[in-house]
Structure 1
Amino acid sequence: MGGAPRWRVRLVIGVTVAWLLFVVLHRVLSGRFWLWLLPDLVPPLVYLAGPLLLLAAAPLAGRSRRWWCSALAAASLALGAGQSGLHLGPLGPGAPAAPAGAVRVMSWNTEYWDQDDDPERFYGFLKAQRADVYLLQEYLHWTDGTPRQVDDLARLRREFPGYHIAAEGELVTLSRFPVAASPPVGPAVALGPGAAWNSAFLLAKTLRTDLRIGTSIISVYNVHIPTQYMLDENPLTSKFYSELHGRDAARKAQFRGLAADVEANRNAILVSGDFNTTGAMGDIQWLSDRLSRADDDRRLYPASWPAAGPALWRLDWTFTSSARIHGYRLLDPQGLSDHRAQAMLLSVGDDSDRKNRMASSN
C-alpha cells in the first residue's frame, strides 16, 4: 500500500536501462558500424537532456529503486555529457585578441550556390564578409535529384578582383594570397588532370590549397564530407540500407584520405567546412584529438544547422595546427543557405598543436 504503481516503476526502470544501453552502444559503435549512422542523427543535446530528465524521474520508481535508477542515469550522464555539444566558452575569459595582420576567413556551405536566390544578394553577402580567404562548398546546382555543374568563375573574378581561385568539383576556394600548391587529397588522387566534373563531384570532397602568407605556408583544407542520409529516402526498403552502407564507405574514404594528408603535412594547417558530422559522432573524433577546434564563444550550444532554427546540430567545423583562431563566429546566412557560415580571424605561428600532432603520429 502506498507504493509507486507497478507500471510506473517498470516504465522508469525500463527507460533508464534502455537509455544507458543506447549511450554505451553509441560510444562503442559510432564511427565504426555503418548502421549506427541512423542513431547518430539524434541531436547531440539529447545526451545531456536525456540523463537529466531520467534523474528527475527517478523518484517515480519508488523508494526502493530510486537510487538504483539515479545511479544508472548518472552513469549515462557521465558517458554522454561530453557528446552533447555543450560549449562552456561563454563562461570563460574569452579568446585572446587577434594580432595585427590576422587573416579573415569565411567557410560556408552555400546550399547549391545561388540556385534559389537572387545572385545579387548572394554575392552581396559574400562580399560583405570582407574575407581574405573564402572556403565555399556546394558550388553546384541540384535539379531533379541530380548535381549540376556551375560555371561562375568569370563572375567570381569580377566580384573578387585580385583573388586567386581554386575549384574542384563542388568546392571553390578564393584567396588574396598566392596558391603555392594544390595537391589532391584522398580519393581525389585518382582523378588525374582534366577529369570530368561528375567524377570530381564524387571524389573531390577536400580541396587543399597551400597559401603563401608572408614568409609562411599554411595548408587550407576546404571540406565537404558526403551526407549519410537523404530526407526523401524510404527506410522501409532494402535500397535505403544498401545506399546507407555505400554512403558510409564513401564518408570513411574521405575521412581516411583527409587524416592521412593531415598527418603527413608539416605545414601550418586550417581544416574547415561542412563535415555532415556532429561532435557526438566517432567519425570526427580524430580531428579533435590531433588538432585545435574553433568554437563560438558567444554560444553555449554552437549549432550550425538548420540555420533557420531551431539549430540543433553542429555540422560545420574548423580545426587548426600551428595556427590560432580568433573571434570565431557562426553567422546568420540571411536565408541564403540552410547552414550558418563560419567566420574567423586566423594567425599563423603557434607550434604547440604541431608538436602534439607529431607526437600523436609517432
Structure 2
Amino acid sequence: MTAVTDDPTAGQDASGASDTARGAPPPAGRWPLRTRALVAATALWALFTVLGYALSGRWWLWLLPDLAPPPFFLLVPAVLLALTWWAVPVRRWLTAALVLLLVLGAPRAGVNWSALTPGGGPVAARGDTLKVFSWNTLYWDSSDDPGEFYRYLKAKDADVYLLQEYLAWEDDGPQEIDELARIRAEFPGYEVEVLGELVTLSRFPVVATPPVGPSRAPGSGGPWREVFARDKVLRTDVDVRGRVVSFYNAHVPVQLDIERSPLSGGFYRTVRERDAQRRAHFAALEKDAAANTHPVLISGDFNTTPSMRDIGGLRDTFRDALPASGDLLPGTWNTAGLGLWRLDWTFTDDGLRVHRYAFTDPAGLSDHRGQDLLVSLAP
C-alpha cells in the first residue's frame, strides 16, 4: 500500500526547487514580466513621439516636454530595440514598431548627417570671405575677469560679432550695464550697435538698423527694462565691399522661469506668456528676413532645440549652416554638462555661402558654445 503524505515538498526534485522556480514558462496567455515592461516602455515612447509631432509649437504646455535632450529621439528607441531579444512572443512586431520610431526620431535628434557623407563638413572658400562670431556671453563680463573676457573676444578676430546677454543679472533680474567706452577701446575701427541685451560689432560700415517686429531702432530711447523685454532681434545692414548684407542678431526668450516652483501657478503662467512672446519674435523675424532683398545671415541663441517645431519656419525658409560643420552631434548648451542641447543656430539665404561652421569652447566664460563662421557672398 502506498502511504498518503501531506509533505509540502512533494513534487519537488532533489534540490528542493519547484517547477516555477526552475524557470518553467508562465501560464498560457501571459507574457513574462520583462516582455510586458518592454512593451509598456515602447508604447510610452511612441505616445511621447506622436504627441510631440502633434503638439510641439502648437500648445504652450508642450514647451516643457520639448526640453528633452534631442539625442534621446535616437537613443531611447535604439536601446529598446537592442532589448527586443528578450521579448520572444512579440519580438517581430515590437522590432518593426521601434524601427519606425527610430525613423520618426531621426529628424528631431539634432544629428549632423552631412558629417557622415563624403565631402560633408567645411568647404574650401574662394575669393573674399567674412568671419562671423555669434555667442551668448552669459551676462557679458559681470561674473568673469573683464580682461580675460575681452581677450577671448578679440582672439576670434571676426569681421562681425553678434553677441547676446549684454547685461548683468542680480537678485531682482536683468540689469543694464554700460561698457560702450570699453568696447570701443578694445575694438578700434569697429562700428557698434546696441539694442537692449544685443550687441553687434562690424568692421564694415553700418548703413541701417531697421526695427524688426515690435523692436525699435537702436538709440530710439525708452527705459532699458522695457527695451530688454521687447527687443530680441537686432538687424544691422552692413556694407561689405560694396554690397549690403543684413545680419540678424537674435535671442529668443527661454521657455520657463527656473526660479519658480513647478508646483506653483506662476510657473505655468510664465510658460504660457513666454510661449506667446516666442511666437511673436519668431514670426517677426521670419517675416522681415523673408522680405529682405539683401543677403541674409540670422544667428543667435534661440532657446530652441532641433526637436521643437518653433524653429520650423526658419528651417523651411533659410539654410541651416550645420552642413558646413564637422560635428556629428552638435550641442551648444550646457558646456558644464554633456552639452546635449543645440540652442544656438545660424541661417543664411542664397546670397551667402557658408564655408566653415564651428562650435567653439567658451573657455569657462559662458554656458554656451560660440558659433564661428566663415562665409562669402554668392555671385
Q: TM over 0.5: same fold?
A: yes
More helix by percentage? 1
Counterpart selection for 2:356 from 305, 308, 327 = 327
1:357 matched to which residue of 2?
none
The 5-angstrom pairing of residues 8-47 of structure 1 reads 8-47=34-73
Aligned-partner Cα distance in 1 for 2:73–2:161: 34
**Contact (CA 8 Å) 2:257, 2:270: kept in 1 or not?**
no
Aligned-partner Cα distance in 1 for 2:134–2:217: 26
Read off the aligned partner of 2:352 and give its amino acid letter: A
Aligned-partner Cα distance in 2 for 1:234–1:11: 32
1:75 matched to which residue of 2?
100
Aligned-partner Cα distance in 1 for 2:122–2:370: 20
2:12 matched to which residue of 1?
none
Aligned-partner Cα distance in 2 for 1:199–1:116: 24
Gaps of 5+ in 2: 1-23
Q: What per-residue deviation string (whole Å, max 9, x for no partner) do you get for residues 194-215 of structure 1?
A: 1221111001100000111112
Counterpart selection for 1:141 from 138, 143, 168 = 168
| Residue 288 of structure 1: how far off its partner (Å) | 1.3
**Contact (CA 8 Å) 1:106, 1:344: kept in 2 or not?**
yes
Read off the aligned partner of 2:240 and give its amino acid letter: I
Aligned-partner Cα distance in 2 for 1:190–1:310: 38
Q: What per-residue deviation string (whole Å, max 9, x for no partner) do you get for residues 200-234 of structure 1?
A: 10011000001111121111000000000233321
SS at match of 2:157: coil
Gaps of 5+ in 1: 351-362
Counterpart selection for 2:113 from 80, 85, 88 = 88
Aligned-partner Cα distance in 1 for 2:218–2:186: 30
1:196 matched to which residue of 2?
223
- Cα distance change, pair 298–15 in 1 and its aligned pair in 2 (3 A): same
- Cα distance change, pair 223–240 in 1 and its aligned pair in 2 (3 A): same
SS at match of 1:329: strand
**Contact (CA 8 Å) 1:191, 1:199: kept in 2 or not?**
no
SS at match of 2:256: coil
2:301 matched to which residue of 1?
274
Q: Are 2:339 and 1:311 aligned? A: yes
2:91 matched to which residue of 1?
66
1:126 matched to which residue of 2?
153
| Residue 7 of structure 1: how far off its partner (Å) | 2.2
| Residue 145 of structure 1: how far off its partner (Å) | 3.9
Identity of aligned residues (%): 48
2:134 matched to which residue of 1?
107
Counterpart selection for 1:243 from 267, 270, 279 = 270
Counterpart selection for 2:368 from 327, 335, 339 = 339
2:25 matched to which residue of 1?
2
- Of residues 311-320 and 300-309 in structure 1, the stretch that sits farther from structure 2 once superposed is 300-309
Aligned-partner Cα distance in 2 for 1:191–1:159: 21
Read off the aligned partner of 1:133 and give its amino acid letter: V
Aligned-partner Cα distance in 1 for 2:320–2:196: 26
- Cα distance change, pair 249–53 in 1 and its aligned pair in 2 (3 A): same
Read off the aligned partner of 2:114 and give its amino acid letter: G
Q: Say what the alpha-carbon RMSD is for the aligned residues.
A: 1.6
Runs of 4+ in structure 1 displaced over 4 angstroms? 189-192
Read off the aligned partner of 1:225 and give its amino acid letter: V
SS at match of 1:186: coil
Aligned-partner Cα distance in 2 for 1:190–1:169: 10
| Residue 260 of structure 1: how far off its partner (Å) | 1.0
Q: What per-residue deviation string (whole Å, max 9, x for no partner) do you get for residues 314-357 of structure 1?
A: 0000000110111111000100000001111111126xxxxxxx
- Of residues 307-316 and 147-156 in structure 1, the stretch that sits farther from structure 2 once superposed is 307-316
The 5-angstrom pairing of residues 174-323 of structure 1 reads 174-189=201-216, 193-295=220-322, 297-321=325-349, 322-323=351-352
Aligned-partner Cα distance in 1 for 2:332–2:252: 15
Aligned-partner Cα distance in 2 for 1:127–1:279: 30
- Of residues 140-149 and 95-104 in structure 1, the stretch that sits farther from structure 2 once superposed is 95-104
1:55 matched to which residue of 2?
81
- Of residues 211-220 and 168-177 in structure 1, the stretch that sits farther from structure 2 once superposed is 211-220
1:170 matched to which residue of 2?
197
Number of aligned residue pairs: give it.
Answer: 349
**Contact (CA 8 Å) 1:17, 1:72: kept in 2 or not?**
no
User: Over alpha carbons, which structure has the higher Rg?
Assistant: 2
Aligned-partner Cα distance in 1 for 2:208–2:216: 14
- Cα distance change, pair 347–191 in 1 and its aligned pair in 2 (3 A): closer
**Contact (CA 8 Å) 2:257, 2:267: kept in 1 or not?**
no
Read off the aligned partner of 2:365 and give its amino acid letter: L
Q: What per-residue deviation string (whole Å, max 9, x for no partner) do you get for residues 80-136 of structure 1?
A: 111101112332313321223201110000000001100000000000000110000
Read off the aligned partner of 2:214 and give its amino acid letter: P
Read off the aligned partner of 2:25 and give its amino acid letter: G
